[in-house]
Amino acid sequence: MTRRYKWLLPAFYIVFLMLPIYWLLNMSFKTTNEILGSFTLWPKNFTLENYTTIFTDPTWYNGYIDSLTYVGINTAISVTVALPAAYAFSRYRFLGDKHLFFWLLTNRMAPPAVFALPFLQLYSEVGLFDTHIAVALAHALFNIPLAVWILEGFMSGVPKELDETAYVDGYSFWRFFIKIFIPAIIAGIGVAAFFCFMFSWVELLLAKTLTSVEAKPIAAVMTRTASTSGYELGLLAAAGSLTIIPGAFVIYFVRNYIAKGFALGRV
Amino acid sequence: MTVKLTNQKAWFLVAPVVVLVAFNAVIPLMTVVNYSVQESFGNNIFFWEGVKWFEEVLHSERFAASLMRQIFFTSVILLIEIPFGVAIALSMPRKGPWVSVCLVLMALPLLIPWNVVGAMWNIFSLPDIGLLGKALNSLGIGYDYTQEPISAWFTVILMDVWHWTSLVVLLAFAGLSSIPEAYYHAAKIDGASPWAIVRYIELPKMKRVLIIAFLLRFMDSFMIYTEPFVLTGGGPGNATTFLSIDLVKVALGQFDLGPAGAISLIYFLIILLTCWLFYTLTMKDEAQ
C-alpha cells in the first residue's frame, strides 16, 4: 500500500465500527410502528418517546444508577488495594512473590461462567446477595489482578532514587507514598481506573447472577424487558444507546493516557 | 532494571489484595471442586462420587462438541483480529490531531456492555429490518442468523471482530509509538524499503505487546458468553453453543452440580495450560 492511500484502512475500519452504533441510534429514535412496518435508513417520524419512557420509569433509570454505583465502588476498591501491592511487587523481593503474582493473574483467566454459581451461594451465605457491594467485590476478582499488573508496570518506570531521597529526607513510608509517589504515577492510576471501570461496566453474567431487585444493573433490566414485553425494539435501542455514554465520557478523559498506559503498563 | 531489595515486610503491602482475591477465588473454586466429586439430590445432601463426573464429561459428545466449536471460534477470531489489528495500527497516523480521533472512536466498542453489543448486533443483522441482514439479502445472499448455522457463525465472528479488533490496534499502536525516531532515521540512511522497516523494526518492537494481545484475546474469546448468548442464544439448534453457554445451561439451568463442577475445572485448566505454554514458549524464544 502506498503512503498516500494509507489512511483508507483506518477510515474504513472506523466506518465499519460506527455502522452498528448508527443503526442502534437510528432505531432508538423511531416509533415501534416504523421499526416493524418499514425499512428506513433514518427515522421518518422522529420521536424521543423511547428516551422519555426510560427517564420517567424508575425501573429503567434505577438500572443506570445501580450499574454506576457498583462500578464506582469496584473501581475505588480495586485501585486502592492494588496501589500498595503493586508497590511491593515493583520494589521488593519477598517470599513467594513470583508465585503470588502469577496466581493473581490466573484469576484474570477464570471464566465468569465457572464462578457464577459458587458466587451466588457464597454471597447469599454472607448476606450480601442483591447488594451493590456484592457485585463490586465479585468484579474485584478480575479487576484487582489487572490493576496490580498495570500499576506495577508504571511504578517500575519510576526511578528508585525517588524513594531513597525521600527516606533520607525523613519521610515516613505512608507520607512518602501519598505525598510523593502517588502524584508521580497519577497517569498510571488513571489508566488502571479506566480498565477497572471498563471491565466492571461491560460485565453482565456475574452482575446479573448476584442481583435480583435492589441492585439490578441496567444491562439486566434490558434483558428482562426484551424477553417479557415482546418486541419493544425502540425502547431496547434507546436503553442500549444510553449505556454507550458513560464509556464514551471515560474514553474522552483518558484518551491521551490509553496508548501510553498500554505501552508502559504492559497490559 | 534496578536490583530489588529483599524485604519480607512487603507482605503487609500485598495482604489486602491477597485477602480480597482469596475470598473471591479460593472459596468458590473449592466449592466447584466439592461439586465435581459428589452427587447431590437437593437439600444439601451429598454423596462421594470420586472421578465419575470427570470421566462422564470427558466421554460426553456434548462437551466434545462445544469444546470443538469453542476452539474453532477462538482460532478464527485470532487469525482475523491479530493481523487485521496490526495492519490498522501500522497505517494509522503517528502524530497530530487525528491520533486522538482514531483512538477515541476505535476504543468505543470496548466500553459497550457486552449484552448491549449482542443486542446491537441482533438489531443490526435482523434479516428484515437490520441494515446488515437487509443488505445481504438484497444482494441475493440467503442470510438469516436465526435459522441458518452458517449465517449465525458469520454474524458471531463478525461481531467479535467488530468488538475486539480495537484492543489489538490499541496495543500494537502503543508498541509502535515506543519506537524511537532514531530507528527510522537509521533505516532511511540505509535505504531500507517500507516492507523492511515493518519486518525488521516495527514487528520485532511490537512482539511483546502482541504476545499480550494474543493472550488477552485468547482468554477472553475462550470465555465468551454474553454476546453470542444475546445474539443467537447458542442457536440455531446448538450451532453456536460455546463452552460458557453450555456450562451455564448445565449449572444454572439444569442445576446438575456435579457435571457442572467437572466441566468448570476442565475448562479452567485448558485456559491456564494454554496461556502458560504459550507464554513460556514465546519467552524462551526471546531469551535465546
pLDDT of residue A265: 45
Interchain CB distance below 8 Å, B252 and A209 = yes
Global ipTM:
0.84
**pLDDT digits over B175-194, tens only?**
887 777 888 888 888 888 88
**What is the band of A40 on the pLDDT scale with cuts at 50, 70, 90?**
confident
pLDDT of residue A1: 46
pLDDT of residue B82: 95
Find, among A209, A10, A179, A16, the residue nearest to A118 by Cα. Answer: A209
The nearest alpha carbon in chain B to A90 belongs to B4
Into how many domains does chain B fold?
1
**pLDDT digits over A178-203, tens only?**
999 998 888 788 888 888 998 899 88
Q: Which sign, positive or negative, has the C-alpha torsion B116, B122, B125, B126?
A: negative
Residue B24 lies in a domain: no
**How many angstroms separate the Cα of B107 from the Cα of each of A12, B27, B158?**
15, 35, 17
Say which amino acid occupies A61: Y
Is the separation of the CB atoms in A83 and A182 below 8 Å?
A: yes
Residues facing residue B38 across a β-bridge: B48
What is the phi-psi region of residue B96: left when phi exceeds 0, alpha when psi lies from -120 to 50, beta otherwise?
left
pLDDT of residue B1: 45
Stretch 65-84 of chain A: residues touching chain B, C-beta under 8 Å: 77, 81-82, 84
Mean pLDDT by 10 residues, chain B (288 residues): 73 89 86 80 67 80 90 95 93 81 88 88 85 85 84 93 92 80 86 85 82 87 89 83 87 78 88 86 66
**What is the band of A259 on the pLDDT scale with cuts at 50, 70, 90?**
low
Cα(B17)–Cα(A145) distance, integer angstroms: 8
Find, among A152, B61, A57, the residue nearest to A65 by Cα. Answer: A57
Residue B4 lies in a domain: no
Q: Residue A266: pLDDT above 70?
A: no
Residue B83 lies in a domain: yes
Residue B208 lies in a domain: yes
Domains of chain A: 1-47 (no CATH), 57-265 (1.10.3720.10)
User: Which three three-digit cell numbers place residue A102?
Assistant: 502469577
The CATH number given to whatever domain includes residue B266 is 1.10.3720.10
Stretch 163-222 of chain A: residues touching chain B, C-beta under 8 Å: 198, 201-205, 209, 218-220, 222
Q: Residue A267: pLDDT above 50?
A: no
Say which amino acid occupies B33: V
Strands B5-6 and B46-48: unpaired
Cα(B251)–Cα(B269) distance, integer angstroms: 18
Residue B193 lies in a domain: yes
- What average pLDDT does range A13-24 have in this prediction? 92
The alpha carbon of residue A195 is apart from the nearest alpha carbon of chain B, in Å, by: 10
Of the partner residues A100, A112, A246, the one whose CB lies closest to the CB of residue B14: A100
| Domain carrying residue B166 | 61-287
Of the partner residues A9, A236, A263, the one whose CB lies closest to the CB of residue B177: A263
Is the separation of the CB atoms in A199 and A75 below 8 Å?
A: no
pLDDT of residue B155: 92
